[in-house]
Amino acid sequence: MKQRPRQPFVPPRRDDTVRQELTALLREEDLTAWELSGLVGISEKEVLEHLEHLRSALHGRLDMTPSRCLECGFSFQKRERLKKPGRCPVCRSERITDPSFTIG
C-alpha cells in the first residue's frame, strides 16, 4: 500500500479567502455569526474563530453590537467574547439576542 500523498486535495476554501468574504460582507451590513455562517457556508463556530482573527487584524475596526436580554433588556456591553452569552446575569433568562458585527 502506497503512502497517501500529504495533501490529497486542496481544502475547499482557504482561511484567507473566507476572511476576505467575511470582511466584504461586514463592510456592507451588520450581521450575526449565524447569518455569516449561512452566507459563507461554514459553521458558526468557524465564523467566530475567523472573527476573532479579524478583530485583531483590523485593530478595533470590527464593531460588535452586544447581545441583549429579551426578558429584562440587559445589554452585554462589557463582554469581550464574540460568542453569544448563555444566560442573563440579571434575570437568568436564556432569551438572549445574538451579537452582530460590522466593520467600520
Interface residues toward Zn ion, by CB under 5 A: 69, 71-72, 74, 88, 90-91, 93
Query: DSSP per residue over 25-52, as a string?
Result: HHHH--EEHHHHHHHHTS-HHHHHHHHH
Nearer to Zn ion, 24 or 91 (CB): 91
Minimum Å gap between C-beta 71 and Zn ion is: 4
Nearer to Zn ion, 32 or 67 (CB): 67
Nearer to Zn ion, 25 or 70 (CB): 70
**In sequence order, which residues have a C-beta less than 8 Å from that of residue 3 and are 6 or more positions away?**
none
* Residue tagged 460590522 (cell numbers): 102
